[in-house]
Structure 1
């Protein structure tokens, strides 16, 4: 086990967010981007200047990813959109799941080639209507179907393995990425115990280890490339939704959290729930990429 028990995450921004998600480090701008799905917000935090910016979105944003040509790509119900922070404007790039009216987009990730991986889910969190896609421009390509809550796309350092999460199934999966972007040999990477929380967003570090936030699980787990549990970072709030490695050395971890589903008593006991947190990792993350399309 890697000793991570000494780490004490600190709250950077007390947002009281309902469902913060999509933490994504923009190295060029030195900005941490993330969303509040239920409040329909995009947030940007600059740790160097302390600047905190918030924009309203026309629908529930599942993720936000920096784009090589400028601006950001935002996943919202039924489409991927270009977002221009300087004007606050949204322009549709492509349609997604126009036929699945109860769905919304959830977590997303840009791999080292600039390809976007993202998932959809049943907004009511009941039907197995969610799917996984990749996108490099044009129409998104569906690579997996039949999951209720999709989460956590990330890739191994060599770009050959896709990791993703079936949140309600409490299972993390690994699959081999083929030359055409399809996936093969999908297998169980790790299982979360019945009373240990629900795996949410993830990130991979420079050693190839997988870090995953736990909804109702009070922290973040770190797994070895073979799926062995290596360590746990405990948080003062119960639901951690996504993490990103950032900062000049990629050792600053930023983590989004949520207060969704908490009772009045639980909210009183977790006053920082729904905030943006940070801690220093002993291991660096992988360099973030920008969307090439």
Structure 2
């Protein structure tokens, strides 16, 4: 492992996902979905804290300095930062015990795109939803593994993937609310080393950085969908990147050890990694709630 890339903490996530960053507290957050855990890493004193959750969760959005929103298998919950207490904001597929939360990201307008999937990746069991100031609506149905949800810096374009189909979609959006204004189109289908598109984030220039599950790398794609850079990560199942730091010049990447036989594990599978970003990133917007 090079000096420019380091393992952030000596932990191994069964299914690491949903990394994000709070610039006000200089803190990174991520989940181990299957172990029902939320991790908090404070860069100020290099301290790591693990929070046990009552249910599986996969994504976090900052609301303000006192509150966060967790996307869980039962829906959206507000989490109080001081004591970790949870209160239901909006149920999502709570009655469906066969699905759980997966990928999600906040649109520049403050709306939330949220993807669900089957616990065993059942074919077309998932959906992608749009939550905006108390209102939830379904955007896309019949998605097997929703991933790579991210947006152009101005909010005019949205992206998402169905990992099972190994394709990333592109759709034009209303910048005021993050709702589609036309039908999605297939955008990227060619991935190096047969990597499958997992979580993704956009940088300040609108490039898309996609975790390539199974390929041990993050791929950088320009706004036209052309691969222009790859970043090797010492884990086979890279799951999601996030820009880190008050200047958004570092990148944090989660990974997963789930499903790997002992004889093929590298010892760093499931790790969380940090390195200097190859380009200027951007800080994710806060979620707007009523």
Give the TM-score band, short-chain normalised.
over 0.9
* Counterpart-to-counterpart distance in 2, 1:9 and 1:194: 21
Inter-partner Cα distance in structure 2 for 1:264 and 1:69: 42
Deviation at 1:224, TM superposition (A): 0.6
CA distance in 2, matches of 1:66, 1:128: 30
1:262 to 251, 260, 268: 260
Instruction: Say if 1:7 and 1:186 are closer, same or farther in 2 by CA, change over 3 A.
Output: farther
Structure 1 residue aligned with 2:285? 289
Shift of 1:193: 4.6
Q: How does 1:135-154 map to 2 (within 5 A)?
A: 135-154=131-150
Report the alpha carbon displacement of residue 232 of structure 1 after superposing the two structures with TM.
0.5
Classify the secondary structure of the residue corresponding to 1:88.
coil
Q: Is the 8 A contact 2:198 2:213 kept in 1?
A: yes
Distance of 1:181 and 1:272 partners within structure 2: 37
Q: Deviations over 1:98-118 (max 9, x none)?
A: 343311011111122221111
Equivalent in 72, 75, 85 of residue 76 of structure 1: 72
- Alignment partner, residue 243 of structure 1: 241
Measure, in 2, the Cα distance between the counterparts of 1:260 and 1:111: 30
Please show how residues 108-119 of structure 1 align to structure 2 within 5 Å.
Answer: 108-119=104-115
Counterpart for residue 228 of structure 2: 230
1:182 is aligned to 2:179:
yes
Q: Secondary structure at the match of 1:168?
A: helix
- Runs of 4+ residues deviating >4 angstroms: none
Q: Among residues 24, 31, 40, which one is paired with 2:27 in the alignment? A: 31
Give the Cα separation in 1 of the matches to 2:191 and 2:23: 35
Contact 1:74/1:81 (CA < 8 Å) preserved in 2? yes
2:99·2:118 contact (CA, 8 Å) conserved in 1?
yes
The corresponding residue for 2:45 is 49
Which shifted more, 29-38 or 122-131? 122-131
For residue 239 of structure 1, report the CA deviation from its aligned partner: 1.0
> Residue in 1 aligned with 2:203?
205
- 1:73 touches 1:80 (CA, 8 Å); kept in 2? yes
Structure 2: distance between partners of 1:261 and 1:87:
34
Instruction: Tell me if the contact between 2:155 and 2:178 (Cα under 8 Å) persists in the aligned partners.
Output: no
| Partner residue, 1:3 | none
For the residue of structure 1 that corresponds to 2:184, the secondary structure is: strand
Residues 60-71 of structure 1 aligned to structure 2 (within 5 Å)? 60-68=56-64, 70-71=66-67
Change over 3 Å in CA distance of 1:146–1:194 after alignment to 2: farther
- The aligned length equals 286
The aligned counterpart of 1:218 is 216
